[in-house]
Amino acid sequence: MDALGDRAFGALLLILSIPNVLPVPGLSTATGVPMILLGAQMAVGRHSPWLPRRMLAASFDRKAFLGVIRRAKPWAERVERHLRPRLPALAGPTAERLLGLAVVVLAGILALPIVFGNQPPAFAIALIALGLMESDGVFVSAGLVAGLLAIVIVAAVLLGLGQAAVAVAQQLIG
C-alpha cells in the first residue's frame, strides 16, 4: 500500500472488485467488507488506507488469484486504452469523500448474499476505482451511473424475491 501512494484507495478497490466482476463464487462478503472500510475512510478524508492486521494478513489462493488476473488481463488492456486525466474535479480530493459514500453503499450491497446481485455493484466500484487511479472523471461518472443502475437491479431482484415469497406463502396458507 505504501508503494501505491495517492492511488492506494483506487488500486485496492479495483483489486477487491475484480473477482466479483468476473465472478468468482463466494468472495462477495470477503471482498465487500474491506471495500466498505475503504469507502468509509475515503468519506472521512483519510489520505491513505488503513486495514486491520487480520485483513492485511489474509491471502488468496495463488492459483485462483492468477486465474482471476489471467481472465481480467484482456479486459484491463481494453479499458486502459480509454483512461486519461479528464474532468479532474470528479476524481479529486473533494469528490473522493462523496465517492467514498457511494463505495460504502455499493460495497454494502455487494457484501449481501444476493443471487446475481454482486456483479453490478462490483462493476460500478471497478469503474470508480479506475477513475480515481487515473484522475479520470469520465470513468468516475460512468461508475456512478453504473452504481445507480446496480441499485435498481438489486432492488428489482429483491422485490421479485419478496413477491415470490408472498405468492408461495399464500399458496401454502391457502
Q: What angle do CA 92, 94, 99 make, to 5 degrees?
A: 80
Contact of 124 with 143, CB cutoff 8 Å: yes
* Cell, residue 41: 475512510
> CA Rg, the chain, in Å?
17
Q: How high is the pLDDT of residue 58?
A: 65
Domain ranges of the chain: 5-173
- Rounded to the nearest integer, the mean pLDDT of the chain is 85
Categorize the per-residue pLDDT at 41 as very low, low, confident or very high, splitting at 50, 70 and 90.
Answer: very high
* Cell, residue 36: 466498505
Which burial class, exposed, middle or buried, applies to 112 when counting CB atoms under 10 A from its CB (0-12, 13-18, 19+)? Answer: middle
* Contacts with 48 (C-beta within 8 Å, 6 or more apart), sequence order: 1, 5, 8, 9
Contact of 102 with 39, CB cutoff 8 Å: yes
**CA 59, CA 30: separation in Å to the nearest integer?**
11
Q: What angle do CA 12, 95, 106 make, to 5 degrees?
A: 50
Q: Which of 13-22, 42-51, 59-68, 102-111 has the lowest mean pLDDT?
A: 59-68
* Cell, residue 20: 466479483
* Contacts with 153 (C-beta within 8 Å, 6 or more apart), sequence order: 117, 120
Q: How high is the pLDDT of residue 3?
A: 57
Does the pLDDT at position 1 exceed 70? no
Question: What percent of the chain lies above the pLDDT cut of 90?
Answer: 43
For the chain, the farthest-separated pair of C-alpha atoms sits apart, in whole angstroms, at: 63
Categorize the per-residue pLDDT at 59 as very low, low, confident or very high, splitting at 50, 70 and 90.
Answer: low
pLDDT digit string, tens, across residues 2-12 = 556 667 888 88
Does the pLDDT at position 128 exceed 80? yes
* Cell, residue 111: 457484501
Contact of 10 with 129, CB cutoff 8 Å: yes
Does the pLDDT at position 19 exceed 70? yes
Q: How high is the pLDDT of residue 56?
A: 64
**CA 65, CA 24: separation in Å to the nearest integer?**
10
